[in-house]
Amino acid sequence: MHRQHYRWFLPISTRWMDNDVYGHVNNVNYYSYFDTVANTYLIDHCGLNIKLGSVIGYIVHSECFYKHALAFPQQLEGALRVNRIGSSSVQYGIAIFSAGAQQASAYGTFTHVFVDRQTERPVEIQGELRAGLDHLLHAT
């Protein structure tokens, strides 16, 4: 995946603990990066209140494709777009780039279903949340 396919970017620093015994970022850490990218955008640009809000997002599907190894110490950029948005769910396209690189080192998808915090039943995506997600909608 190429940088131009994404709409929003977040700097990420690798940590010493991200490396595994083979000397590169272990695969499980990419999902942590994905979480950080998506949730930072939701909090900063969509008004999602993770502590007190009545609406929360649950991940119901994720996948990641690994293309190039990364390692500590390395500066990265997380990239985000919205592939599809429904009434209560959104599928993000997420990628991890070595800082400044044009091709992703890893990319994949995350699907959030937004639910009522108390009932855990799906709720309609609306208001500031809908506007923020619409802003990242990627025309394929």
What pLDDT score does 68 carry?
Answer: 94
Q: Which residue has the tokens 């044009």?
A: 102
CA distances from 62 to 17, 83, 107, 109 (A): 23, 13, 11, 5
DSSP 8-state code for residue 25: B
Range of the domain at 117: 3-135
Residue 112, in any domain of the structure: yes
Q: Which helix (H) or strand (E) is 40 found in, with range?
A: helix 27-45
Regions of the chain short of the pLDDT cut 70: 139-140
What pLDDT score does 140 carry?
Answer: 52
pLDDT digits (tens, 9 = 90+) for 4-28: 999 999 999 999 999 999 999 999 9
Residue 140, in any domain of the structure: no
CATH for 30: 3.10.129.10
What pLDDT score does 138 carry?
Answer: 79
Number of domains in the chain: 1
What pLDDT score does 6 carry?
Answer: 96
Question: Whole-prediction pTM value?
Answer: 0.93
Using omega within 30 degrees of 0 as the cis cutoff, is the peptide bond preceding 73 cis? yes
What pLDDT score does 1 carry?
Answer: 83
What pLDDT score does 139 carry?
Answer: 57
What pLDDT score does 105 carry?
Answer: 98
Q: Which helix (H) or strand (E) is 132 found in, with range?
A: helix 127-135
